[in-house]
Amino acid sequence: MKTVLMTAFEPFGGETINPSWEAVRALEGKQIGGATIVIRQLPVVFSEVLNVLNQALEELKPDAVLSVGQAGGRSDITVERIGINVDDARIPDNAGHQPVDEPIVAGGPAAYFSRLPIKMIVAAVREAGIPASVSQTAGTFTCNRVMYGLLHWLAQQERPARGGFIHIPYLPEQAAQHPGAPSMAAATIIQALEIAVKVTLETDEDIKQAGGATH
């Protein structure tokens, strides 16, 4: 049985919930596309988050990895194209740290492209009636750190798995505290993530025939 690792974050920035964790934890143990979903919660702490992620990667050696994070203000499911080698925090993390213009991996590549079939995921999510798009930036907070760190780890593997990052909107109960901010229901987000897992697990030949692109 294949394993898909899905990660999500604890609440941060004054929020009491994080929609990424609320959605991902609903998928724990579920079987999708012949794979079992295993989940991990990540801390919103620059100095700790990659240690937790890498421990899970080493332990599980998953066949695919989908990391999910909150993007308050976005209105759709956004599949990230690129993770960049910089931490530049607009707000402090949950430990009070606020790095500015610091590399994630000293001497590492400037950026990594997602190893997910990002356009196929977007197309499939849209076909299900859920707003989705490709995003060109995962920002420079801990979400980007996770995306870059994940792709850096995968690049060191002899047979790298598929992996990448997906941002999701606020839940309605969060948006109620941010007048004018868009939101998406938890059930809709969960459906979109299930679709993303299924598409990710499709064969390379399927992707080629469907005209999908990794980046």
Q: Give per-residue pLDDT as tens, 32-48.
A: 999 999 999 999 999 99
Q: Where are the beta strands (DSSP E) in 10-49?
A: 31-32, 35-42
d(CA 79, CA 66): 10
Q: Catalytic site residue 80?
A: yes
pLDDT, residue 203, reads: 56
Q: Is the pLDDT of residue 212 over 80?
A: no
Percentage of residues of the chain with pLDDT beyond 70 = 94
- The stretch 99-103 carries a mean pLDDT of 98
Catalytic residue among 22, 80, 152, 194: 80
- The stretch 74-79 carries a mean pLDDT of 98
pLDDT, residue 209, reads: 42
The residue with tokens 């989940």 is 39
pTM equals: 0.94
d(CA 95, CA 144): 18
d(CA 151, CA 53): 11
pLDDT, residue 207, reads: 46
d(CA 123, CA 116): 13
- The whole-chain average pLDDT of the chain stands at 94
- The stretch 68-97 carries a mean pLDDT of 98
3-state secondary structure of 132: strand
Catalytic residue among 10, 58, 97, 167: 167
Band of residue 202 on the pLDDT scale cut at 50, 70, 90: confident
Tokens of 187: 């059930």
pLDDT digits (tens, 9 = 90+) for 105-126: 999 999 999 999 999 999 999 9
Catalytic residue among 22, 143, 152, 194: 143
d(CA 191, CA 53): 24
Band of residue 1 on the pLDDT scale cut at 50, 70, 90: confident
97-111, 121-135, 197-211, range with the lowest pLDDT: 197-211
pLDDT, residue 160, reads: 87
